[in-house]
Chains A and B, each alone.
Chain A
Amino acid sequence: MIKSGLKKLYMGLVFIFLYAPIVTLIVFSFNDSKSRAKWEGFTLKWYANMFHDPVIVKSLYYTLIIALIAAIVATLIGTFAAIGIHYMKKWFRGIVMNITYLPVLNPDIVTGIGLMLLFILINLKLGFESLLLAHITFCIPYVIISVLPKLKQLTPNTFEAALDLGATPFQTIWKVIVPEISPGIVTGFLLSFTLSLDDFVISYFTTGNGVQTLSITIYTMTKRGIKPEINALSTILFAAILVLLILINRRPGKNNVLLD
């Protein structure tokens, strides 16, 4: 009895440590006071204010449009890359997969600074295009990692069976392989979208020219003192990512290598 009580207490403590900051943030986003210590009644005015702040609205637009384009492009590139990698010779596939995994494990700050230096080197002005390119780049490995397990699940000779029945390689990919691996492709897309929404470090180094994502806006706002609108904005970002994660995890035929 005592033992199981202790277990529950321990688990409760872990969850409190993990979620107390977020809960605090969410609660204070509804607080009818500028104070960060006192509860003075429920309000939605910070949310309303937020949508009247042109800086926030603009960064919300950039965040969504970048996440959408980056996710679409990364899904396309990543899916074709995964199909290519899957049908490679074994030893070569091993090498390519290691090169693919490396950026995933690489610290974001290194990727961010690296991309920034590269963009400066090739004379690409930091701004929307550089930010988009950076997001596409870091999303591709995640698409590959989502799609590859689905390719491994294909029954052997699937590709050859389609060729045998008269389909060209392109028809085979489009009519047989893509429908078979579509759960992996959708997972890769959602994952890319989430990661793009979520990213701060890489965006911080690769953007410029007044183009800001939400996370950068939040960061610059905190430098000028924490306004309650930030709580509201952070809450919305948290909720969006939570919904996306639930979506990725609850989908039928999921293969959540990363999220289990």
Chain B
Amino acid sequence: MKNSLIRLENISKSFDDELILNHISLDVKKNDFVTLLGPSGCGKTTTLRIIGGFETPDDGQVYFNDKVITQKPPYKRNINTVFQKYALFPHYNVFDNIAFGLKIKKMHHSDIKKKVDWALNLVNLKNFENRNIHQMSGGQQQRIAIARAIVNEPEVLLLDEPLGALDLKLRKDMQYELKELQRELGITFIYVTHDQEEALTMSSTVVVMNDGVIQQAGSPEMIYNEPTNAFVADFIGESNIISGVMRKDCFVELFNHGFVCVDKGFGINEAVDVVIRPEDVILLKPEKDKLTGKVTDCIFKGVHYETYVEAGGKEWMIHNTKSHIIGSDVSIDIAPENIHIMKKR
């Protein structure tokens, strides 16, 4: 396949007889910001480590610019990594940490100085080069780790939950900065996280993983709006997942009430999973032919109210801007394009 910078082909990996990756294939395009997203133990970090060269797959091949690199050691790959706990070298100061890779390459001293200055400037740590690593805060160490990686001008930067140890505010700032950095440098980023919001905010491609299998790969909008299965729907944002039956094309039955939808191609009377996002549920005054229920709770969340409605034997989560009295009757309506039908797993 042309255009792909990194290609994983049928990768499998086990540790102590436990299957961690089960025949994974993935294409990463140049300049892409790819996020591997999933719960812990889903295989996302192992995937990253295979790309970095720290693990060798039991089966399958890794391609880099259409060349097989499966057996190549990390120090021969033009890929750099930002580790979760930074893995800075405490006996070197900031300058020597960042210069480490350049010194290994035996670059000329004055060029090293120039490059380190450039990298420090990029991560907003100008004039910090003589500091000791222990004198730096967690956020600053994070920036040094990023500078240490990008100063080598890799074609691909791997980031293993790099913001995991930072507090919420700093995390948000860094998300924005990383995204900016990626745009500015034009380096392909492969980013591992278990935080779905982070994934949606930063990435151009989100790869949702679970149980060693890629569940879905696509743009954040596509993953959010068109999840392929209940796992993806549940993992990406809040959702109401309901069992339904397709009565015909573009018509699904939920709790004995018919809803018009836009999905086609399912079998007549096929049982399906239906995903409805909380913000897509419209609450109306009780109407006769509509699905009707009782408000069980209504919580003010700042921008919206989080309302819970018991209807058809299921508790629905609804986000809207109106408050509802607990115990009152409401009817539920959903626009056809907001009903997402998925095959049962």
**Is the Cβ of A162 less than 8 Å from the Cβ of B88?**
no
Point out residues on A near B: beta carbons under 8 Å: 155-158, 160-168, 171, 175-176, 179-180
Cα separation A156 to B49 with both chains bound (whole Å): 14
Task: Establish whether residues B85 and A164, one from each chain, have CB atoms under 8 Å apart when the complex forms.
Answer: no
**Which one of B52, B53, B87 contacts A155 once the chains associate, using CB atoms below 8 Å?**
B87
The 8 Å CB contact of B85, one of A157, A162, A163, is A157
Most interface-central of A156, A160, A161 (chain B CB within 10 A): A161
Contact indicator B54/A160 (Cβ below 8 Å): yes
- How many residues of chain B have a CB within 8 Å of chain A? 25
Query: Quick one: which of B34-81 are within 8 Å of A by CB?
Result: 52-54, 73-75, 79-81
Measured between beta carbons, the chain B residues less than 8 angstroms from A158 are 87, 89
CA distance A156 to B86 in the complex (A): 9
The answer to whether A167 and B89 touch across the interface, beta carbons within 8 angstroms, is no
Cβ 8 A contact of B100, one of A160, A165, A168 = A165
Q: Is the CB of A167 within 8 A of B75?
A: yes
Known A-B contacts A164-B74, A165-B148; the reply to A176 vs B83 at CB < 8 A is: no
A166 touches B152 (CB 8 A): yes
Contact A165–B104 (Cβ < 8 Å): yes
B105 sits at the interface (CB 8 A): yes
Q: Is the CB of A166 within 8 A of B91?
A: no
- CB < 8 Å neighbour of B104 from A155, A160, A161, A167: A167
Find the B residue at minimum CB distance from A178: B91
CB neighbours of B91 from chain A (8 A): 179-180
What's the nearest-Cβ distance from chain B to residue A15, in Å? Answer: 40
B101 interface residue per 8 A CB criterion? yes
Name, among B54, B88, B104, the residue most crowded by chain A CB atoms within 10 Å (CB to CB): B104
Q: Is the CB of A164 within 8 A of B81?
A: yes
- Whole-angstrom CA separation of A48 from B325 in the bound complex: 103
A92 to chain B, nearest CB (A): 13
Decide if B265 is an interface residue (CB 8 Å cutoff): no
Query: What are 14 A-B pairs with beta-carbon distances under 8 A?
Result: A155-B85, A155-B86, A155-B90, A158-B87, A158-B89, A160-B52, A160-B54, A160-B74, A162-B89, A165-B100, A165-B104, A167-B75, A168-B75, A180-B90
Other A-B contacts than A155-B86, A167-B100, 8 sampled, CB-CB below 8 A, are A155-B85, A155-B87, A156-B83, A156-B85, A157-B85, A160-B74, A161-B81, A176-B89
Report B-chain residues with C-beta under 8 Å of the C-beta of A156. Answer: 83-85, 87
Given the complex of chains A and B, what is the CA–CA distance between A164 and B149 in angstroms?
9
CB neighbours of B90 from chain A (8 A): 155, 180
A contact residues around B86 at 8 Å (CB): 155
Smallest CB–CB gap between A166 and chain B, Å? 4
List B contacts of A161 (CB < 8 A). Answer: 81, 83, 87-89
Q: Are B88 and A165 in contact (CB under 8 A)?
A: no
Q: B interface, by DSSP: helix, strand, loop or mixed?
A: loop
Q: Please, how many angstroms separate the alpha-carbon atoms of A158 and B97 in the complex?
A: 12
B80 — which chain A residues lie within 8 A by C-beta?
A: 164-165
User: A168 to chain B: which residues have CB within 8 Å?
Assistant: 75
CB of A165 within 8 A of CB of B152, answer yes
Residues on the B chain within 8 Å of A180, using CB? 89-91
Interfacial chain B residues near A176, Cβ < 8 Å:
89
User: CB within 8 A of B88: which of A155, A164, A166?
Assistant: A155
CA distance A156 to B74 in the complex (A): 17
CB-based closest 5 A-B pairs: A165-B101, A161-B87, A157-B87, A163-B74, A157-B83
For B52, what are the chain A residues with a Cβ–Cβ distance below 8 Å?
160, 164
Question: How close is A87's CB to chain B, nearest CB, in angstroms?
Answer: 12
Of B80, B83, B149, chain A has the most CB atoms within 10 Å of the CB of: B83
When distances are taken between beta carbons in the complex, the residues of chain B under 8 Å from A157 are 83-85, 87
B75 is contacted by which of A166, A175, A179 (Cβ under 8 Å)? A166
Task: Give the residues in chain A near B104, CB-CB below 8 Å.
Answer: 165-167, 171
List A contacts of B101 (CB < 8 A).
165-166
Of the candidates A155, A168, A180, the one having the most CB atoms from chain B within 10 angstroms of its own CB is: A155
- Bound together, the chains give a CA A166 to CA B107 distance in angstroms of 13
Q: How far is the CB of B33 from chain A (nearest CB, A)?
A: 20
In the complex, chain B residues whose CB is within 8 Å of the CB of A165: 75, 80, 100-101, 104, 148-149, 152
* A171 neighbours in B (Cβ, 8 Å): 104
Output the least CB separation between A236 and chain B (Å): 37
**A215–B88 Cα gap in the complex (Å)?**
47
In the assembled complex, the Cα of A171 lies from the Cα of B75 at a distance in Å of 11
Q: Which of B265-290 contact A (CB under 8 A)?
A: none
Q: Which residue of A lies closest to B79 (CB)?
A: A164
Query: In whole angstroms, what is the CA distance A256 to B54 when docked?
Result: 34
Could you tell me which residues of chain B, from 73 to 130, have a CB within 8 Å of some CB in chain A? Answer: 73-75, 79-81, 83-91, 100-101, 104-105
| Cβ–Cβ < 8 Å partners of A163 in chain B | 53-54, 73-75
Quote the shortest CB–CB distance from B14 to chain A (angstroms).
Answer: 14
A199 CB to nearest B CB, Å: 34
Q: How distant is A100 from chain B, measured CB to nearest CB, in Å?
A: 24
Closest to A167 in B: B104
Residues of A within 8 A of B81 (CB): 160-161, 164
Closest B residue, CB atoms, query A176: B89
Q: How many Å lie between the Cα of A180 and that of B104 in the bound state?
A: 18
CB-CB nearest in chain B for A180: B91
Query: Which residues of chain B are near A164, meaning CB under 8 Å?
Result: 52, 74-75, 79-81, 149
Question: A residues within 8 A CB of B105?
Answer: 166
**B152: A residues at CB distance < 8 A:** 165-166
CA gap between A87 and B88 in the complex, in Å:
19
- For A155, list chain B residues within 8 Å (CB): 85-88, 90
